[in-house]
Amino acid sequence: MELVHLGKRVILAGLDTTFANEPFGPVPNLMALADEVTKLSAVCMVCGAPAIHTQRLGQSQELVVVGAAGLYEARCRTHFEPFTDEHHSEQLDLLTA
């Protein structure tokens, strides 16, 4: 807010939810303070529809995976599969079978 009070224009770009569809860090709070919010979408890698989610393709449960090229893809609401412990257990069962 300090920059805003100094007359500066502040622009923020980032994800607002995690791979588990949870609020991502301070972004939702920053959006609440913003005078204007423009949400953009990508293209779903499954069907080509507008995509608002980030699908993690790997098994990591870390919040941020640095240098993770190829481990994420854009997904629409229909094709997004949020990470859950149950989903992880099912994947482990498939891997060990």
Which stretches does DSSP call E strand in 1-97? 42-43, 50-51, 53-56, 72-75
Residues 6+ apart with CB under 8 A from 59: 88, 91
Q: Residue 85 above 80 pLDDT? A: no
pLDDT of res. 19: 87
Q: Residue 60 above 80 pLDDT? A: no
Q: How many domains does the chain have?
A: 1
Question: Which range of residues forms the domain containing residue 90?
Answer: 2-96
Instruction: Report which of 59, 67, 47 is spatially closest to residue 19, judged by C-alpha positions.
Output: 59
pLDDT of res. 69: 73
Quick one: average pLDDT of 49-72?
83
CA–CA gap between residue 58 and residue 50 (Å, rounded): 22
User: CB atoms < 10 A from the CB of 74, how many?
Assistant: 19
Which CATH number belongs to the domain containing residue 31 in this structure?
A: 3.30.60.20
